[in-house]
């Protein structure tokens, strides 16, 4: 009993369609072989009869009636198998020579050709004979034929072989389609079962592979990679929610405490209220900056900013941002330099790239001690433009370089410095949006952050 699911599967339907197309091709091929073979044997028989009639007509013209009778008797005597048929009669159809006792009954088609079934008195089996009627001068009638019983048997054998071949092809094709469908359904059921378990909440479940490296294994690997990415994003959302609750609770508590303390003071102290309002506005501005940064990161990671891509002059952009932070570096007595290759253009979002570079420079200025150095470089490499910011600050240990790219991630050494922990997260999101590789490397001492953009298309 074939399962209903198997009968409804698209794989089985495709197998049946393929089998039907293949069977039709086999039918056409076998039909061509049959018609070619049978036609060749029939033409060979007709050519042999024509050649004999032509020869006997020449004998009659040269030797006369007596010579023709002698030739026919000689040929009949030599034909022990009886494969040839001869009959010469006078104008009244009285036999004169040959191995036919009587003039056969046939329907004259005008061409002289006809087929007849003759009784074989020796073997008691009918014989199929292909014959041609010919009228000789003097009103003598001549029939020459060939026994085609063996040819017909061969044709039947060929036809039977073709029918059996087509039948075996259909049966084997059907069995192959069923086996292929069952195998395919088993592989798909593995994916479906894993998917249902994941939908029921088993988020750590993954689709197993067989190690064959076929298309099903590649599909499973891609789905597993997608599930890993989704799981990573979900963990990121949870982490972000926890970090938002933790990092924003402090500013909100400070705002609330300041307002409560103001309410407890006498109302005749306007200067105090102004101070509290200024502090409240500053705290709210910091909160807005945090939310704007989160929104920018989310838009960059979602790819919505890609629709605003234009050709950005990276050289000009880097120069503008570097000049903006140069005075801040001078206030800390930092050696600030930038080396920018000319005419570097990339496809991107100018505002987001400016914000990413500004975050890198802001971190460099913030964490580099007085008397240190900051360098901004833009170079053209064979693989594409590279924009780098290097400083001589404390740097970031190698084991924490992936961690600092996450939202609200901050090292213990920077807990007491102003900031929300979103600067490098925004840089990472901007790099991902622009398909740029982000590298955090040791500057010995300090940190070197490089954005390696892909080579622009010609």
* Mean pLDDT within 314-326: 90
**pTM, two decimal places:** 0.49
Tell me the CATH number for domain 304-452: 3.30.565.10
The answer on pLDDT for 265 being more than 90 is no
Q: What is the separation, in whole angstroms, between the first and last Cα of the chain?
A: 61
pLDDT of residue 448: 92
Q: Residue ranges of the domains in the chain?
A: 10-154, 215-298, 304-452
Token pair for residue 348? 């991107």
Least trusted range by pLDDT, from 46-60, 87-101, 107-121, 127-141: 107-121
The answer on pLDDT for 307 being more than 80 is no
How would you label 160-195 residue by residue, b for 16+ Cβ within 10 Å and e otherwise?
eebeeebeebbeebeeebbeebeebbebeebeeebe
pLDDT of residue 374: 92
Q: Which residue has the higher pLDDT, 40 or 299?
A: 40
* Mean pLDDT within 89-112: 81
pLDDT digits (tens, 9 = 90+) for 326-370: 888 888 889 999 899 998 888 888 888 888 898 899 889 988 998
pLDDT of residue 241: 64
Q: Which residue has the higher pLDDT, 273 or 31?
A: 31
Peptide bond into 445 cis (omega under 30): yes
Least trusted range by pLDDT, from 16-30, 270-284, 414-428: 414-428
pLDDT band per the 50, 70, 90 thresholds, residue 378: very high
pLDDT band per the 50, 70, 90 thresholds, residue 278: confident
126 phi and psi angles, rounded to 5 deg = -70, 145
The answer on pLDDT for 124 being more than 60 is no
Q: Rounded distance, CA 422 to CA 322, Å?
A: 20
385 phi and psi angles, rounded to 5 deg = -65, 145
pLDDT of residue 415: 46
The answer on pLDDT for 152 being more than 90 is no
pLDDT of residue 377: 93
Give the CATH architecture of domain 10-154. 2-Layer Sandwich (3.30)
* Mean pLDDT within 15-22: 74
* Mean pLDDT within 83-99: 86
Q: Rounded distance, CA 451 to CA 437, Å?
A: 6
220 vs 181, 202, 301, 381, CA distance in Å? 19, 17, 25, 37
pLDDT band per the 50, 70, 90 thresholds, residue 373: very high
Q: Which residue has the higher pLDDT, 408 or 315?
A: 315
Least trusted range by pLDDT, from 14-28, 101-115, 285-299: 285-299
- For domain 215-298, the CATH class is mainly alpha
**Over the chain, what is the mean pLDDT?**
80
pLDDT of residue 50: 87
The answer on pLDDT for 49 being more than 80 is yes
pLDDT band per the 50, 70, 90 thresholds, residue 5: low
Least trusted range by pLDDT, from 141-150, 206-215, 231-240, 252-261: 231-240
Q: Rounded distance, CA 309 to CA 228, Å?
A: 29
pLDDT of residue 116: 81
* Mean pLDDT within 261-273: 71
Q: Which residue has the higher pLDDT, 94 or 292?
A: 94
Token pair for residue 321? 């941002």
Angle between helices 149-199 and 215-264 (to 10 degrees): 20
């Amino acid at each position: 009993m074939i399962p209903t699911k198997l009968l409804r599967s698209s794989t089985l339907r495709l197998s049946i369609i393929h089998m039907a197309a293949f069977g039709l091709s086999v039918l056409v091929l076998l039909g061509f072989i049959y018609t070619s073979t049978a036609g060749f044997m029939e033409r060979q028989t007709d050519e042999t009869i024509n050649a004999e009639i032509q020869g006997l007509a020449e004998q009659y013209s040269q030797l006369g009636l007596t010579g023709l009778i002698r030739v026919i008797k000689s040929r009949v005597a030599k034909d022990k198998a009886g494969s040839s048929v001869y009959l010469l009669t006078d104008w009244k159809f009285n036999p004169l020579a040959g191995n036919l006792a009587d003039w056969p009954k046939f329907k004259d088609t005008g061409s002289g050709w006809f087929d007849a079934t003759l009784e074989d008195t020796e073997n008691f089996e009918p014989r199929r004979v292909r014959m041609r009627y010919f009228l000789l001068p003097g009103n003598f009638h001549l029939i020459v034929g060939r026994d085609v019983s063996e040819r017909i048997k061969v044709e039947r054998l060929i036809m039977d072989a073709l029918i059996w071949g087509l039948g075996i092809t259909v049966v084997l094709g059907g069995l192959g389609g069923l086996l292929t469908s069952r195998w395919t359904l088993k592989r798909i059921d593995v994916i479906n079962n894993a998917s249902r378990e994941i939908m029921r909440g088993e988020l750590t479940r993954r689709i197993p592979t067989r190690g064959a490296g076929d298309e099903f294994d590649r599909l499973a690997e891609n789905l597993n990679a997608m599930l890993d990415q989704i799981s990573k994003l979900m963990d990121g959302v949870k982490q972000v929610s926890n970090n938002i609750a933790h990092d924003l609770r402090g500013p909100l508590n400070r705002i609330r405490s300041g307002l409560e303390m103001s309410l407890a003071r006498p109302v005749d102290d306007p200067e105090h209220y102004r101070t509290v309002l200024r502090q409240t506005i500053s705290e709210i501005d910091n909160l807005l900056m945090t939310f704007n940064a989160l929104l920018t990161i989310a838009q960059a990671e979602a790819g919505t900013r890609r629709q605003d891509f234009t050709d950005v002059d990276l050289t000009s952009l880097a120069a503008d941002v570097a000049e903006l932070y140069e005075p801040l570096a001078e206030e800390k007595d930092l050696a600030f330099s930038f080396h920018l290759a000319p005419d570097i253009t990339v496809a991107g979002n100018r505002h987001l790239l400016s914000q990413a570079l500004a975050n890198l420079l802001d971190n460099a200025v913030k964490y580099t001690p007085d008397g240190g150095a900051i360098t901004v470089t833009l170079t053209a490499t064979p693989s594409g433009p590279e924009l780098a910011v290097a400083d001589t600050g404390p740097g970031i240990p190698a084991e924490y370089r992936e961690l600092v790219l996450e939202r609200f991630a901050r090292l213990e050494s920077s807990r007491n410095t102003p900031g929300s922990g979103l600067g490098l997260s925004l840089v990472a999101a901007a790099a991902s949006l622009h398909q740029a590789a982000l590298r955090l490397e040791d500057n010995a001492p300090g940190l070197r952050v490089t954005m390696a953009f892909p080579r622009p298309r010609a």
